[in-house]
Structure 1
Amino acid sequence: MEKETILIVDDEKEIRDLIDIYLKNEGYKTLKAENGIAALELLKNNNIDLILLDIMMPKMDGIQTCMKIREEKNTPIIMLSAKSEDIDKIMGLTTGADDYITKPFNPLELVARVKSQLRRYLKLNEFKKPDSKNGFIEVDDLVINVNTHEVKIGNKDIKLTPREFDILRLLAENRGIVFSIEKIYETVWKESFMESENTVMVHIRKIREKIEQNPRKPIYIKTVWGVGYKIEN
């Protein structure tokens, strides 16, 4: 089976080359770019399975690049940054990144994160089958196309990141069931839950901002205080 292709985007050549060595040792194919503009060009002409994206870069930084990628692609993105403050992590995740690792990082940990994201991305069919024969899930005016990852409310297209889509799909396919933050994290991220309340809550908030007319009074994703979240029957 042909190994996946990973795009390494970092303005520091030493870091690009270091990551390249470790990924190639695992059998992955790699492409390298020194800034966001070069990365977007490579994405146009190549099939990329995952992107490692530095935040602090000249010309077009990682946040801008991530937002541009998310306009068209659901490719997993792991942000790289020398900053470790929570606000930087949250900003990266809310602009569409799937994971975040701070520099200096252990290359073996980075490889483990890459493998985890690729497993999740390439095995979305592990979700239970949708409750519609045609691959559509409908909740009032909200329509989720499982096959194309498109979401609509009425005639309006809703742009969701891959994580946001997975969370919405999980809740919509299991209407009436309350999912704890821990269960959402372990099901969607496919990793053990380790103090990740903030991560899930940020994603829920972003979904509500996109699908709810009034995010403070949601009609789709309900909060069950002290328990978790659900979509009503």
Structure 2
Amino acid sequence: MTRTVLIIEDNPGIGELVSMQVKDLDMQPVLVDRGDDGLERFRRGGIDLVILDLMLPGLDGLSVCREIRAVPGYVPVLMLTAKSTELDRVLGLEMGADDYLTKPFSVAELAARIKALFRRVDALSSRASEQAKAEEVEVDGLRIDPVRRRVFVHGSEAELTAREFDLLWHFACHRGRVFSRAQLLDAVWGYNHEGYEHTVNTHINRLRNKIETNPAEPRYVQTVWGVGYRFLD
């Protein structure tokens, strides 16, 4: 089936350029020039990838990304922006963007990022199939159900986001092994770009707040100073 790419970009020249590249990749582009209109189109369904500008009329890109992540199901988001500071990259990732491309960009790099995101989608589908066959993991009052993607701490359910669950499940499948932030980005997020490691810290902190009795002294997800993190062995 042909994949459909929603492009939310208010610059006509860039929008047409991205649309042409999407067509060259044998995908169907849908071009919208306002954030609110783009979000409305996304909610109608049938979108396989969102290419999203940060500065938009109607609704800014960060808000659009946040609303996309509130919709059940996973659709990758590639953010396009003229802003290039690390803070902007981290904000985009923390709102749920999967990757970040700074203007001006080359057509070849855009194509590479799109292909990489769809490889990640395929990998996640494979991971979901593996999880559907996996058994529950229970460690010291923490129970992880990979089939229903639910987590319980001493009998009470912890409401995790999809990314938080994937992060916890990755740890639980490799108990005692130490992972650097870069390794976690590659394994859980599906990419490893310099400067994005801060988003790992943010997700670790949020995960700890949901599953640890005392997040300041974590028992399950432990810090290995100077290296990274590991799960309780």
* Common fold: TM-score over 0.5: yes
The letter of the residue matching 2:98 is D
Q: Deviations over 1:135-158 (max 9, x none)?
A: 544445545443455555554452
Point out 4+ residue stretches in structure 1 off by more than 6 angstroms. Answer: none
Contact 1:76 1:121 survives alignment (8 Å): yes
Distance 2:54 2:121 in 1: 22
Q: How far off is 1:201 after superposition? A: 3.1
Aligned residue pairs total 230
Residues 182 and 3 of structure 1: is their aligned pair in 2 closer, same or farther, counting only changes over 3 Å?
same
The letter of the residue matching 2:184 is I
Q: Tell me what 1:94 maps to.
A: 94
The letter of the residue matching 1:179 is F
The letter of the residue matching 1:16 is G
Aligned pairs for 1:61-76 within 5 A:
61-73=60-72, 74-76=74-76
Q: Secondary structure at the match of 1:91?
A: helix
The letter of the residue matching 1:43 is F
Contact 2:134 2:147 survives alignment (8 Å): no
Q: How far off is 1:189 after superposition? A: 4.0
Q: Give the RMSD, CA atoms, in angstroms.
A: 2.8
Q: Secondary structure at the match of 1:230?
A: strand
Name the % identity: 38
Distance 1:206 1:82 in 2: 29
Bigger mean CA deviation after superposition, 146-155 or 50-59: 146-155
Q: How far off is 1:22 after superposition? A: 0.4
The letter of the residue matching 2:124 is L
Aligned pairs for 1:80-159 within 5 A:
80-127=80-127, 129-130=130-131, 136-140=136-140, 142-147=142-147, 149-151=149-151, 153=153, 154-156=155-157, 158-159=159-160
Distance 2:29 2:10 in 1: 16
Residues 39 and 210 of structure 1: is their aligned pair in 2 closer, same or farther, counting only changes over 3 Å?
farther
Q: Deviations over 1:26-45 (max 9, x none)?
A: 10112122222212221222
Distance 1:159 1:36 in 2: 27
Distance 1:33 1:45 in 2: 14
User: What 5-or-longer segments of structure 1 have no aligned partner?
Assistant: none
Aligned pairs for 1:1-233 within 5 A:
2-73=1-72, 74-127=74-127, 129-130=130-131, 136-140=136-140, 142-147=142-147, 149-151=149-151, 153=153, 154-156=155-157, 158-162=159-163, 164-191=164-191, 194=194, 196-212=196-212, 214-233=214-233
TM-score by length of 1: 0.83
Distance 2:152 2:65 in 1: 22
User: What 5-or-longer segments of structure 2 have no aligned partner?
Assistant: none
Bigger mean CA deviation after superposition, 35-44 or 48-57: 35-44
